[in-house]
Amino acid sequence: MNKRIVIILPCLLLLLLACFSLDSFLFEPTEVTEYFQPADMDTSWHVRFIIPDFLIEPDSLISQGNKIYGFFVKPDGLPEHSFESQVTIIYCHGKGENINRYWGRVELLWEMGYKVFIFDYQGYGKSEGSPSAAACYADGEAALDYCRSRSDVDTTKIIYYGWSLGSFIATHLASDIRHPPALILEAPIASVSAVTKEGTVLNFPGSYVAKADFDNEQRITKVNAPILILYGRKDETAVPERHAKVLIDILGKAQKPYESHEVVNAGHDDIPDVMGNEYTQVINNFITQHVQ
């Protein structure tokens, strides 16, 4: 191959990357006019509609001047002062769809007896605005402020739970905003840089092609709380060797308290389904041990 071409091709690639942003691939929102409409629900999401309407409180918050939407779910069938009913979980969902996609996950946590607040990022569902790292972080902070403002929430027992993209928001809250008693990360992503390195031949830093300040590798050691990491061995979206195991290695070297569970037959989206009853046991044991 001509030496000029060998030199020019990488330069052209650099120029293209300088004009290209990975950010648009980080978010895949869908909008809805109303939540939980049958036409907008997919059977693969395993939503059972088991939570009574009177225990679901829809609410709207203001984030960066935009209205975002969420649902606060109250527990049922437990004594008012039981341990589980005192715990509130802020659920930070993944990059795709909207709250509809993750309602089955809320149901699982609700069945355990916890209060749960799930919210849509800007541009998702009915929420105004457009998604970005800064917007998602602001949305998470608004969700935390909302939960802390409720008279029925014990502010010392608010846990952050992040799945996939949501792991960035949950870790941001835990490291930069307010330390929780516990942090749960499911199928976490190490950083945008790690994603970039997987998708390009050259090891460009993630900041070169993405504006998103998504970096769990840098933030996770600043979390002063026990961390539970769940990941699937067959995850092809966030390959464990480049994501979950990287974070686990960082926590180990920093001598931070953590638990990790590799789910042998699970991928990126089906960890609770594959774990079955074990999922409930692991979540409950972790919360009971570190929050109570």
What is the structure's pLDDT at 204?
45
Contact (Cβ atoms closer than 8 angstroms) between residue 105 and residue 163: yes
Superfamily of domain 51-291, CATH level 4: Alpha/Beta hydrolase fold, catalytic domain (3.40.50.1820)
User: For position 18, what pLDDT does the model report?
Assistant: 44
pLDDT at 108: 98
- What is the bridge-based pairing of β-strands 183-186 and 158-163? parallel
Q: What is the DSSP string of 192-216?
A: HHHHHHHHSSS---HHHH-----BH
Q: What's the rounded Cα separation, in Å, for the pair 248 and 277?
A: 24
Cβ-contact 259, 230 below 8 angstroms: no
CA 106 to chain centre: 13
pLDDT for 146 = 98
Which pLDDT score is estimated for 155?
Answer: 97
Nearest alpha-carbon partner for 109 in 143, 160, 153, 147: 160
pTM: 0.89
Query: Is-contact 73 110, C-beta < 8 A?
Result: yes
Q: Render each residue's pLDDT in the chain as its tens digit; 292 residues.
A: 555 544 555 554 444 444 445 555 689 999 999 999 999 999 999 999 999 999 999 999 999 999 999 999 999 877 767 888 899 999 999 999 999 999 999 999 999 999 999 999 999 999 999 999 999 999 999 999 999 999 999 999 999 999 999 999 999 999 999 999 999 999 999 998 777 666 544 444 544 455 568 999 999 999 999 999 999 999 999 999 999 999 999 999 999 999 999 999 999 999 999 999 999 999 999 999 999 7
